[in-house]
Amino acid sequence: MTDDSKTTTRAAIVFGGSRGIGAAVARRLARDGADVALTYVSAPEKAAETVAAIEAEGAQGLAIMADSADPVAIQAAVATAVKRFGQLDIVVVNAGIFRWGPVETYPLEQLDLMLDTNVRGVFLAIQAAAPHLAQGGRIVTIGSNTAVRNSFPGSSVYSMTKAAVATMVKGIAIDLAPRGITINNVQPGPIETDLTSANLEMLKPLIPVGRVGQPREIAGLVAYLASEESGYMTGASLTIDGGMSL
């Protein structure tokens, strides 16, 4: 006799999931019942810690070294996840970098790197994963509130890449809608992680709620967008920044 109350385990891949927001998302998806593969470029020990946290939730975890600017590595990462889990239901594209600098002196190589990782890399990850997604699959990109509000000198290139992601999501939503696949973009404001905590105090006065965000708060929003309940939302960019963009 079968137990109809049991649900089939979903499978997810989180690009850039070894630490910070990506790790929080990976852990939350595991807590919600998904097996999770994650990619990383550096800090393999952080990736291993996140896999251990995923497995502590009773889910399967898998860390894959893959540079999000490398299309071959991205394709291989998706293939590895699908082979391990047998399916793919959720894709979260969190990988990204930021390089600040004034327009007059911004190095061309840094511009190319930002575009390759933050725009081209996002597109390539979605392109690689989309053919494997089942009907009703979910894609979530992690953008930035700088796509909405940019008031800091030297942030023009970063803001441009995040605005490009928000626009990209709208077009891809139309492409994938016939398959019941949704794609939405989360735009965090300042978030406390091991990479950013030293520079966040100066931003608190600019945030109406009086504090910076926590990775788990972004993970909670991603979890909703990855759930069945979010099926009527697609192509949206949701800003979560404590009112900073108001």
Sorted by sequence, the CB contacts under 8 Å of residue 163 that are 6+ apart come out as 147
Q: How far apart are CA 181 and CA 142, in angstroms?
A: 17
Direct distance between the N- and C-terminal alpha carbons of the chain, in angstroms, rounded to an integer: 55
Report how far apart, in Å, the C-alpha atoms of 223 and of each of 82, 150, 200, 244 are: 20, 27, 25, 23
Instruction: Tell me phi and psi for residue 169, to 5 degrees.
Output: -60, -40
Residues with active-site annotation: 158
Structure tokens at 147: 């796509």
Helix (H) or strand (E) holding 194: none
Cα atoms found within 13 Å of the Cα of residue 107, Cβ hemisphere only: 6
